[in-house]
Amino acid sequence: MTSLLKILGFNPEQHSTKTEILAGLTTFLTMSYILAVNPLILGDAGMDKGAVFSATVIAAATATLVMAIYAKLPFALASGMGLNAFFTYTLVIVTGFTWQQALTAVFVEGIVFILLTIFKVREAIVNAIPVNLRYAISVGIGLFIAYIGLKNGGIIVSSDATITTLGPWTATSLIAIAGILIGAVLLALNVKGALFFTIIAMTIIGIPFGVTKIPEGFTLISLPSSLEPVAFKLDFSRFISLDINYLVVVFTLLFMDLFDTLGTLIGASTGANMVDEDGRVPRLNKALMADAVGTTVGALCGTSTVTTYVESTAGIAAGGRTGLTSFTVAILFLVALFFSPLFLMIPSAATTSALVLVGVMMIKPIVKLNLTDFAEAVPAFITIVMMPFTASISEGIVLGMLSLVVIKLCSGRGRELSIVMYILAVFFILKYVAPML
C-alpha cells in the first residue's frame, strides 16, 4: 500500500489519505453526469448507447489512471462535453461524415497529440501564455462552471428576450439553491469533504420530491454492455484521400481539445496554488500525455475526444493534491461499469452546489490581475467573459490570446511577447478562416 501511495505522489507527512479519497469521490460525483449524457449524444450519431457507455467508462478510467500514476496530479479525464456535441451534431449530422469516420478523426487527433506531447510542443505553448492571462483563465473557468451549475439546477433558464433569466421556483431549483447554501455553510465551517457530503445530501433529499428518480425495476448491479458495436470501427478513407474538409476537422478537434485541457490545467492549478514560483503547472507534460493517451484509447474503444475535466476543481477544492485523488476517480469509473443504475440516479440539481461553489473558489486570482494596463486588462477581460458567453473554455483562451497579440503589436509593445505567441496567433486566425474557405 505504501509503495502504491508513493507511486501516486502521496506523502503521508503532507497529505491525508481520507482527504484525497473524499476529493476523488467529489470529483467523480460532480462529473459522473457524463456517463448518462455521452451515450445519449453519441447515440444521436447512430452509435449503440450501451456500448458507448462502456467505452466512455474505459476511456475515462484509462486516461485518469495515466494522470494518477504518470503525472501524479489530482485531475480526472473523460469524454469532453462540447467535443461530443461537435462529434455528433457537426461532424455526423451536419457535415455528413459517418460516425466511423468521425471516430477516425478523433484517433488521428490523439496520435498527433501524443507526438506534440513527446516533443514538448504543448508544454511550450502553455509556458508562452503570459501570467496575467493565466489568472484570467482561472477566473473565466470559475464563471463558466458556475454558469453550468446554475443552468443544470434550473436556477437560470433560457429567455428569448434576455438570453438567460431567473428560472421558476421548482423542486429542482430549490434543491439546487439549498445545496449551494448548505455547501457554503459547511465550507465556512471548514468541514472536510463539504462538497461531497452536500451532493449526497441533496441526492437523498431529492427522492421524495421526485428530483432524484429511482427507475422502475431498479437493480443495483448490472453487467457491462459489450464494446463490440463501436470498438475498433475506424474508417480512414477520408484521411487517406486527403479530403481538405476532413483535415480541417482534425485541425479543429486539435484546437478544441488542446485549449480545453490547457485551460483546465492552468486555471485549476493556479486557483489552488498548485503552481511553482513562475506560475507553471508541475509535471505539465505528463498531464498532457494522459489527455493524449485517453483520446487515442477512447477513439479505439468507441467514444469521442477525452479531455481533462474542469469538474476536477471540485475535488481539488475538497483538498485533493496528489495522484491518489485521480486514482480514486479511475477506480470509481471502473466500478460504475457494474453499478451504473446507482451512479446515474444522482440528479444535476445535486451537483449544482459543487459547480457554483468551486466557481467561487476559482475566481480568487482575480485580485492578482493587472487591470491598470489596458494592453493586459482588455485581453484578460475578453478571456474571462468569453468562456461563459460562448460556453467554451477554448474559445475564451483563443480570443483572449488573439486580442493580446493584436493590442501589443498595435501599441508598439510586440517585443513583450514570445515567438510562440505569434505562431499561435497565426494558427488561431487559420482556425476561424479555414472553415470559410
Strands (DSSP E) contained in 147-220 are: 156-159, 163-166
How far is Cα of residue 90 from the mean position of the Cα atoms in its chain? 20
Cα separation, 207 vs 213, in Å, equals 6
Residues 6+ apart with CB under 8 A from 359: 142, 143, 144, 145, 146, 147, 149
What is the C-alpha separation between 436 and 272, in angstroms, rounded?
Answer: 40
What value does the mean pLDDT take over residues 321-335? 95
* Predicted pLDDT at 435: 67
Mean pLDDT for the stretch of residues 325-346? 88
Grid cell of 211 as nine digits = 428530483
Q: Name 107's Cβ contacts closer than 8 Å, sequence gap at least 6.
A: 234, 296, 299, 300
* Nearest-angstrom CA–CA distance, 123 and 376: 22
**Share above pLDDT 90 across residues of the chain, in percent, rounded to a whole number:** 44
CA distance 109 to 120: 16
Query: Which of 97, 128, 139, 359 lies closest to 239, judged by CA?
Result: 97
- Sketch the domain layout of the chain as residue ranges: 2-216+244-436
C-alpha cell at 194: 463539504
Beta-bridge mates of residue 79: 306
What is the mean pLDDT of the segment spanning 405-417?
94
Q: pLDDT tens across 188-201, in order?
A: 998 877 888 888 89
For the cut 90, the answer to whether the pLDDT of residue 110 exceeds it is yes
Q: Which helix (H) or strand (E) holds 78?
A: strand 77-79
β-strand partners of 157: 165
Query: Beta strands 156-159 and 163-166: pairing type?
Result: antiparallel
pLDDT category at 1 given cuts 50, 70, 90 is low
Selection from 73, 40, 75 nearest residue 56 by Cα: 40
Task: Tell me the pairing of strands 77-79 and 306-308.
Answer: antiparallel
3-state secondary structure of 77: strand
Q: How far apart are the first and last CA of the chain?
A: 57
Helix (H) or strand (E) holding 336, with range, is: helix 323-336
**Average pLDDT over all residues of the chain:** 88
- Nearest Cα residue to 310 out of 342, 374, 367, 267: 267
Residue with cell 500500500: 1
> What three-state secondary structure class fits 140?
helix
What's the rounded mean pLDDT across residues 255-270?
Answer: 78
- Measured CA to CA in angstroms, residue 313 lies from 138, 142, 221, 317 at distances of 10, 9, 29, 6
| pLDDT on residue 58 | 96
Tell me the whole-structure pTM to 2 decimals. 0.77
For cell 485580485, name the residue: 367
pLDDT for 189 equals: 93
Most distant CA pair in the chain, distance = 69
Q: Quote the distance between the C-alpha of residue 34 and its chain's center.
A: 11
Q: Which residue has the cell 469521442?
A: 304
| In the chain, % of residues over pLDDT 70 | 97
Helices then strands, each counted (H, E), the chain: 20, 4
Cα-flanking dihedrals φ and ψ of residue 410, to 5°?
Answer: -70, -20
Please state, as a whole number, how many other Cβ atoms lie within 10 Å of the Cβ of residue 388.
21
Cα–Cα distance for residue pair 74/335, rounded to 1 Å: 19
Model confidence pLDDT, tens digit, residues 33-43: 888 888 888 99
How many CB atoms are located within 10 Å of the residue 7 CB? 15
Residue 402, pLDDT > 90, answer yes
Tens-place pLDDT, residues 180-234: 999 999 989 988 778 888 888 999 999 999 999 887 777 778 888 899 999 999 9
